[in-house]
Amino acid sequence: MVQLPTDPTLDELRDALAPLIARHAAFDGWTADALGAAAAEAGVDPKIVALAYPGGAIDMIDAWFASIDQGMLAAWPAETLGTLKIRARIQSLVEARLALLAPHREPLRRALAILALPTNAPRAAKLGWRAADAIWRAAGDTATDYNHYTKRAMLLGVYASTMLVLVDDESESLVETHAFLARRIDNVMQIEKAKAGFKARSEHRLSLTRFIGRLRYPAL
């Protein structure tokens, strides 16, 4: 049974009950029935719990994915990740998410179907970006230029496609999902390596702007 504070706030209820709702969503979908079952299991008035998810299903899914974020970070604390190379950090963090999601593939399947609705596209993009950002930040990324966005965009593509493989993976120990993830991360790392090489070469390339500037303002 979930442990709640004596007088929990709505935010505390939202965070604590999200995994319970996900478990019931396997049978009832992301509905009021799943929310009511979770509330009953936690011993909380379902009318109060409903206030923690004013947006209904999309808010429940949001809270569940946030709990996956927290579980991922707990599985790979900074001091442990720091001993790994960047590729291993990214792969380990994504695999930690998969491990948390794997026992709940039916609620995940239902959640992805809801997020795929056109009306939910902005929220789906926000949740995907949040996951990618959490992974890169945990991996130690401090980029603030365009790389900040390109890294997250590429990882979002990897993560989203890997989840689609996960929900239909019947292989033992999800070997197909892990193999797919490894291949996709290899692709991302190759792109990052190519970008780094291009940047290094461009730093030694003649800059027309600098050249004209020197003609106009010669050094004294």
CATH of the domain at 105: 1.10.357
CA distance linking residue 74 with residue 122, whole number of Å: 28
Residues 6+ apart with CB under 8 A from 149: none
Within this chain, do residues 3 and 90 fall inside the same structural domain, yes or no? no
Q: Is residue 80 situated within a structural domain?
A: yes
Q: Which residue has the tokens 């995994």?
A: 19
Within this chain, do residues 73 and 39 fall inside the same structural domain, yes or no? no
Within this chain, do residues 5 and 93 fall inside the same structural domain, yes or no? no
Compute the average pLDDT of residues 68-96. Answer: 95
89, 135 in Cβ contact below 8 A? no
What pTM value is reported for the model? 0.85
Question: At 152, is the pLDDT very low, low, confident or very high (cuts 50, 70, 90)?
Answer: very high
Within this chain, do residues 81 and 144 fall inside the same structural domain, yes or no? yes
CA distance linking residue 136 with residue 185, whole number of Å: 13
110, 30 in Cβ contact below 8 A? yes
pLDDT at 183: 93
Question: At 3, is the pLDDT very low, low, confident or very high (cuts 50, 70, 90)?
Answer: confident
- Counted domains in the chain: 2
Within this chain, do residues 72 and 33 fall inside the same structural domain, yes or no? no
Q: Is residue 209 situated within a structural domain?
A: no
pLDDT at 213: 52
Question: At 2, is the pLDDT very low, low, confident or very high (cuts 50, 70, 90)?
Answer: confident
Within this chain, do residues 9 and 88 fall inside the same structural domain, yes or no? no
Compute the average pLDDT of residues 63-69. Answer: 97
Flag the least confident range among 28-37, 77-86, 151-160, 202-211. 202-211
Q: What is the mean pLDDT of the chain?
A: 89
Within this chain, do residues 196 and 111 fall inside the same structural domain, yes or no? yes
The candidate with the shortest Cα–Cα distance to 48, out of 109, 100, 7, is: 7
pLDDT at 17: 96
**What is the phi/psi pair of residue 164, to 5°?**
-65, -35
Compute the average pLDDT of residues 100-115. Answer: 97
- Strand, helix or coil at 122? helix
Q: Is residue 216 situated within a structural domain?
A: no
Q: Is residue 182 situated within a structural domain?
A: yes
Q: Which residue has the tokens 């390109």?
A: 150
Within this chain, do residues 29 and 114 fall inside the same structural domain, yes or no? no
Residue 7 above 70 pLDDT?
yes
**What is the phi/psi pair of residue 202, to 5°?**
-70, -25
Compute the average pLDDT of residues 23-52. Answer: 96
Within this chain, do residues 27 and 116 fall inside the same structural domain, yes or no? no
**Other CB atoms closer than 10 Å to residue 66's CB: what's the count?**
17
Q: Is residue 82 situated within a structural domain?
A: yes
Question: At 62, is the pLDDT very low, low, confident or very high (cuts 50, 70, 90)?
Answer: very high
Domain that holds residue 121: 58-203
Terminal CA-CA length for the chain: 77
Q: Is residue 214 situated within a structural domain?
A: no
Within this chain, do residues 176 and 135 fall inside the same structural domain, yes or no? yes
Within this chain, do residues 158 and 117 fall inside the same structural domain, yes or no? yes
Question: At 220, is the pLDDT very low, low, confident or very high (cuts 50, 70, 90)?
Answer: very low
